[in-house]
Structure 1
Amino acid sequence: MRPATVFCGLLSVAARFADARSWQHVGKKNPQEFTASKFQRDYLASRQNPKLKFATNSTARIPDVDFDVGESYSGYLPISDDSNDRNELFFWFFPSSSNTKQKEILLWLNGGPGCSSFEGLLQENGPFLWQYGTFKPVPNPWAWNRLTNVVWVEQPVGTGFSRGNVTATSEEDVAKQFLGFWKNFVETFSMQGYAVYIAGESYAGMYCPYIASAMLDEADATYYNVSGMLIYDPVLGNDIVQAATTTVPFVDYHRNLMTFNDSFSAYLHEQHESCGFADYNAEYLTYPPPGPQPSDYDSTVSAECAGVWDMVINEMFSVNPCFNVYQVAATCPLLWDVLGFPGSFGYVPEGAEVYFDRPEVKRAIHASESTRWEECASRDVFVGGRDTSDPPTWRVLPHVIEQTQNVIIGHGTLDMILLPNGTLLSIQNMTWGGQLGFRHPPVEPFYVPYHALSTGDEIQRATDAEALATIAGAGIMGTAHEERGLTYVAINLAGHMVPQYAPSAAFRQLEVLLGRVPALNSTQAFTIEPDYPQVDPGSLGNGTGSATFDAPPQAERDGSLDSSENENGNDGVNSTGLAVPTTGSASAWLACGAVLVAGLLNLNL
């Protein structure tokens, strides 16, 4: 393959750059003396990183990062071995910070289309975090490279720092270009034969399955040894199904956050009924599904009905001027984002700068200083602005599930840009392993291990800023279900960017993907804190949502259906595990939420 035109360099991260910006930060500290927990001691020890694994002679410092985040490499690599093809993708690679000898690598992709994967790196699962509204970068104890080698890639061409001419018209084109880049990456770092895991979110629900399927089609384990995939809040199928069809149940479920007046609420429910959405949910959001969903559904829905999702969004800005469609519990004041993220309406205070567009940051990571970096590209990354590919549920996603037997689809219950029940409807309309959809509803508990700074007493004792900056939840944090190689997991208190809002939950999902623990209901401690005490596994019960629910019969939880099923195969428990009527109007359901809105705002990550 053609060598990198701008060779990636080792990044040293133990220094800070002087910054002309003036910052103020006010916080409270508990006066009690703080003793570092074992979790913190282990993490701090792990930051004394092992011997460099892929060292070069070139080093740089990361601006504003005044702590060690270990070995990393960034730069451009071409998408083909054709010397006349000047298209290149930009990446940032962090080898595992542990002493693991596992020959594996995970690649992370954000969506858009055209949104940079450096959002994931800086605010979700990278080794240092600069969350919106926060004072400065902090170390991330939930960094995914604590478990394995991870590379964040800006793709397709036209995204972030990646450069060249936009030529892709479809996901097939994107996958072909990515495979060319990936072969160059593997050869650059001598990673032939490594197991490849693919992860991403939002429009990467298109990218990841197409790329993984194309890799599997190559039947070349030297470069493309795909071993599993994890996608969050993904674009999967029909836009109407993933948006308007499930909007009103989402509003009802979050009625304390989406406080519409009686007349507008009545209008929404009338639309839900008259548009046929209530009947659609009642028929197809069942377990097992009665059959395939209508292929001509789009053509049967009026423009007014298709606009229900948009109408709710518009009205929410009257109720909550700082409404965030990516995390519906957000309220004013509006927080600025160092990435200039669209969810913050592009609000950048006077004197502040978008982090990756700063000249010193570009120099540090070997990016072109002439490139204006944007969180989401203002130009099209598909020719004509249209991706012509079929939904991934038609072919490529089933292919990846069947070949790897290791695919996880996660969804945050506070996400409205892509709605949870829309994802479930898409799954129920997908055939894999010889069957349509899930046979049983997702009601099993999703358990996140307890850890230091996950309990009230330890948090109250903590005064260490780094520790408090990355506290995260534990216990039963949602519902999960696995059938025929596909796992679905709903994550409570998480918005669109699951690793950002629920980092410990995402870390656990990665452990399952990599085979470190057997399942999402396992009460095994985190592999990074193996001795921390956990609960009795027999006490978990079912998964939890925002309300209590009646547990299904034990036989159903054990995998066998009993006579309590109704004629449609629904045992009276809906997609969130909430008890629902098995007959009557679906508008009475307290359903977890709707799903997807690919392309409506073109802001998905």
Structure 2
Amino acid sequence: MRVPAIVAGLLSVAAVSEARSWQHVGKKQHNKPARSEINHLEHYLATRKVPEPRFANDNTTKFAVNGTGIPDVDFDVGESYSGYLPISDDPNDKNELFFWFFANSEGSNAKEILIWLNGGPGCSSFEGLIQENGPFQWQYGTYQPVPNPWAWNRLINTVWVEQPIGTGFSRGEITATSEEDVAKQFLGFWKNFIETFSLQGYKVYITGESYAGAYCPYIASAMLDANDTTYYDLSGMIIYDPVIGNDVVQDATTTVPFVDYHHNLFPFNSSFNQHIHDLHNSCGFADYHDKYLTYPPSGPQPSNYSDTVSDECNGLWQLVMDNVLSVNPCFDVYQVATTCPLLWDVLGFPGSITYSPAGSGPLYFDREDVKRAIHADLNTTWEACALEDVFVNGTDTSDPTTWRVLPHVIDTTKNVIIGHGTLDMILLPNGTLLSIQNMTWGGQLGFQKPPVEPFFVPYHKDSTASDIYNEADALALGSITGAGIMGTAHTERGLTFVSIDLSGHMVPQYAPSAAFRHLEFLLGRVDSLSSTKAFTFESNVTQPAANTLGNGTGPATFSKSGSGNSTSGNGSSTPSKGAASSLTTATSLVAVVVAMCAALNL
């Protein structure tokens, strides 16, 4: 039942709602003197040297991309290759995946390569390339592409792949009915990719977000099952805000605690607020949290849970979505702190709203000049997310990854990271934690201890906007990103969970420095996500001592139980032993200020 006072507001939002896509899992600056320090991006550009090509050979010539010829990108993106490769050993196979491969931009000879996949299903990984972790960025609402000092190919050779068939530029007959089919297609493509670029024996890391929480574990598990390290030497995995468990658990069951924690972003009137809390209780969701979101777990969660939840209860997530749109018509389910106005996006997809204002032209990757530059089929209409189903009949018949393949990857590699942005509502943080607590790996069910450890992101040049004083530094604002304690991290038996404060669904987009640190941890550059070791490329920046950090920040859990942060029915939030005390926080802040002053020679 919907509260009558908001019905009129909902009518005004209806048109906007229909245009939404949920496919995707001023104060003036005080005048200050120019700094003698070189800012982070200027330092990156000033010291950056494009290394000699490492992967150029007779087989790769047709894939080579002119690093200074990318439309609208006025700098050299470095050595890269793009094009089509078949999904089988038949060179005439017309079923092909499209890729864009960037060599390590620092000239490293390390024999390792990383795969990035976006989700959907059917969303292009080039969204990740251009707006998350690629060497150039064109974020929505920004004027032009800028260099990305947080590009993942600074640390490792990286390839962004559009898959499965039917996604982005990839082409052929859509035949996949399951993740097993997707994995088989990908392994066929990958063997061709390895042979083309002579990457035999390289360590392979697979990463992705959203529905790639299904893609990545199944592909990774298939690589392990192939038992062939020449082509498939899988060494670790990162999945962000992932689809890994029960659909009801990952949204409706965990909706109201999320609203309570972010109550200032969901300013509902008291009657509607009471209504959703009544549903949360009567549907059994509060009891579910209290019973199963515990450390260690109280036991396995019911396998038939979805069958026991009524349509009204299952619709609680949608009910909240419908009503928040009345107070914030630009609400973005991928980043819930977003407000109006809508911003133009070169991919036509600023968050959860499809928006291409008059005169904005075609989507970036659907432009003919861009297609020519990267060897894409000129006759293919590129979309950020496929308009047609990429699974036969639109149904993925595979089991949730937590049942078998994800534990298999954790137990074999002992190197898996699951990250979740705390501002993401398309998939909720508590849903991810509940899914982890219902998964058995390393011989035990779930985490045995609650996540409370600090997730620390090293201080770096231009870690705050106040570091940027004059017009000469303006370019750095295009890559500015946070530092310090930015969430909570916890590791047990080869699995790390990390929550990322102030990040929405696309973690490398909203918190690029945080994601860069995750990658350093995956690659073994640091021994934990609580490490205060400096970034790989900024070893001269002073960091605080590890023993000054205190506990992690933000919600380790959104729960009414004693573990993590508890939330009350009126939307207030009360810290428990899982949250840092005010004294510890104050001590950490002093350490942070001291470190920043030292870094800036103040």
- Residue 287 of structure 1 and its aligned partner are, at CA, apart by 0.3
Residues 421, 500 of structure 2: 8 Å contact kept: yes
**Aligned pairs for 1:1-150 within 5 A:** 32-35=33-36, 37=38, 39-40=40-41, 42-55=43-56, 59-60=65-66, 61-83=69-91, 85-150=93-158
Match of 1:424 in 2: 433
- Partners of 2:303 and 2:124 lie apart in 1 by 33
- Residue 51 of structure 1 and its aligned partner are, at CA, apart by 1.1
Match of 2:323 in 1: 315
Post-superposition Cα deviations, 1:38-59, rounded to whole Å, max 9, x if no partner, equal 6445412453211111125555
AA in 1 matched with 2:539: P
Structure-2 change in CA distance of 1:59 and 1:374 (3 Å): closer
AA in 1 matched with 2:80: S
The counterpart of 1:442, out of the listed 448, 451, 454, is: 451
Match of 2:193 in 1: 185
Match of 2:509 in 1: 500
- Residue 467 of structure 1 and its aligned partner are, at CA, apart by 1.1
Gaps of 5+ in 2: 1-27, 577-602
Bigger drift between 350-359 and 103-112 goes to 350-359
- Partners of 1:145 and 1:591 lie apart in 2 by 39
Post-superposition Cα deviations, 1:363-414, rounded to whole Å, max 9, x if no partner, equal 0000001000000000010000000000000000000000000000000000
Match of 2:209 in 1: 201
- Residue 179 of structure 1 and its aligned partner are, at CA, apart by 0.2
Match of 1:298 in 2: 306
The counterpart of 1:433, out of the listed 439, 442, 466, is: 442
SS in 1 for 2:206: strand
Post-superposition Cα deviations, 1:493-549, rounded to whole Å, max 9, x if no partner, equal 000000000000000000000001111000000001011000011101100117999
Matched, 1:267 2:272: no
- Residue 463 of structure 1 and its aligned partner are, at CA, apart by 3.7
RMSD, aligned α-carbons:
2.4
Match of 2:600 in 1: none
**Aligned pairs for 1:542-553 within 5 A:** 542-545=551-554
AA in 1 matched with 2:380: T
Structure-2 change in CA distance of 1:255 and 1:579 (3 Å): closer
Structure-2 change in CA distance of 1:170 and 1:412 (3 Å): same
Matched, 1:175 2:183: yes
Match of 1:573 in 2: 563
- Partners of 2:428 and 2:309 lie apart in 1 by 19
Superposition TM-score, scaled by structure 1 size: 0.86
Matched, 1:327 2:328: no
Matched, 1:362 2:362: no
Residues 249, 591 of structure 1: 8 Å contact kept: no
Flag the structure with higher helix content. 2
Post-superposition Cα deviations, 1:73-121, rounded to whole Å, max 9, x if no partner, equal 1000000013563100000000001132211000000000000000000
SS in 1 for 2:468: helix
The percent identity for this pair of structures is 69
- Residue 487 of structure 1 and its aligned partner are, at CA, apart by 0.1
Structure-2 change in CA distance of 1:163 and 1:46 (3 Å): farther
- Partners of 1:89 and 1:538 lie apart in 2 by 48
Structure-2 change in CA distance of 1:318 and 1:416 (3 Å): same
Gaps of 5+ in 1: 1-26, 550-569, 593-605
Residues 32, 469 of structure 2: 8 Å contact kept: no
Match of 1:216 in 2: 224
Post-superposition Cα deviations, 1:400-433, rounded to whole Å, max 9, x if no partner, equal 0000000000000000000000000000000000
Residues 336, 344 of structure 1: 8 Å contact kept: no
The counterpart of 1:538, out of the listed 530, 547, 550, is: 547
Bigger drift between 338-347 and 234-243 goes to 338-347
Residues 227, 406 of structure 1: 8 Å contact kept: yes
Residues 139, 466 of structure 1: 8 Å contact kept: no
Structure-2 change in CA distance of 1:125 and 1:468 (3 Å): same
The counterpart of 2:353, out of the listed 328, 345, 352, is: 345
The counterpart of 1:520, out of the listed 529, 537, 543, is: 529
Structure-2 change in CA distance of 1:386 and 1:548 (3 Å): closer
- Residue 345 of structure 1 and its aligned partner are, at CA, apart by 2.2
